[in-house]
Amino acid sequence: MAAKTNKFSQVFKILRRARVGHSRKTSLVKDKEGHIINNESDCISRWMEHFINLLHHPPVSLDRDLEASSHAAEPSLECSTDPVTVDEVKKAVQLLKNNRAPGICKIMSEMLKAGGINIIWWLTHIINEVWHSEKKDWAREIILPFWKRKGDKLVCSNYRGITLLSIPGKVLPVSYSIPRSQQSVATGSHSKPVSCQTAQRSTRYLLFAS
């Protein structure tokens, strides 16, 4: 039935379950010494400790000559910091992918697309507020641990962390990555694009480019 209705996500879920069998979930975890933790708050603290140690690496010392040559080869980025327009936010929302897990705000891309122009106006206002006030609420992430299907299920290092970002927060960098020019913002005419969009760079880079 899932294949006939083009629900391919359900099809792949069924195939994965048939391939690896049923996997029983566990809420237990081991500490660094290998002792089992069965208290919920202590388990959460252990997961926090694991991902903090995993994701926060000390800065790597770079060769000065190599660093200087990389800066010399880096193209200059002229980023327009003017407020985003309703049309730019509308285009950014249309570029969002469907069937993606929401972040901490629990807002899905399908909700933004189905909300019409009222949601676009609201989102444009929020994006401009966040951009100029430098609020960090949209930077909050949810990390979900998924077992790698090998090794002890009670050991944190045998899990892969999947980060869930805020869907409306993704609209911000995409809006600023849309080619725009200072003249077109002011007069509506089109000239050479002035944006943070460059080849082989992700939208996460655009947040820090200015």
- Domain with 162, as residue range(s), is 81-209
Asked whether residue 123 is domain-assigned, the answer is yes
For the stretch 39-59, pLDDT in tens is 889 999 999 999 998 888 777
Nearest to 175 by CA among 84, 94, 64, 53: 84
- Residue of 40, 69, 207 lying closest to 134 (CA atoms): 207
| Distance of alpha carbon 15 from alpha carbon 7, whole angstroms | 13
98 within domain boundaries? yes
With 90 as the cut, is the pLDDT of residue 124 above it? Answer: yes
Whether residue 196 is contained in a domain is answered as yes
Q: What is the mean pLDDT of residues 144-156?
A: 91
Reported as a pLDDT band with limits 50, 70 and 90, residue 170 is confident
Q: For residues 90 and 146, what is the distance between their CA atoms, to the nearest angstrom?
A: 34
The mean pLDDT of 70-80, rounded to a whole number, is 61
**pLDDT band, very low/low/confident/very high, at 137 (cuts 50, 70, 90):** confident
Is 48 among the domain residues? no
Domain membership of residue 11 (yes or no) is no
Number of domains in the chain: 1
Tokens of 175: 């809006």
Q: How far, in Å, CA of 179 to CA of 119, rounded?
A: 23
**Within a domain: 45:** no
| pTM exceeds 0.85 | no
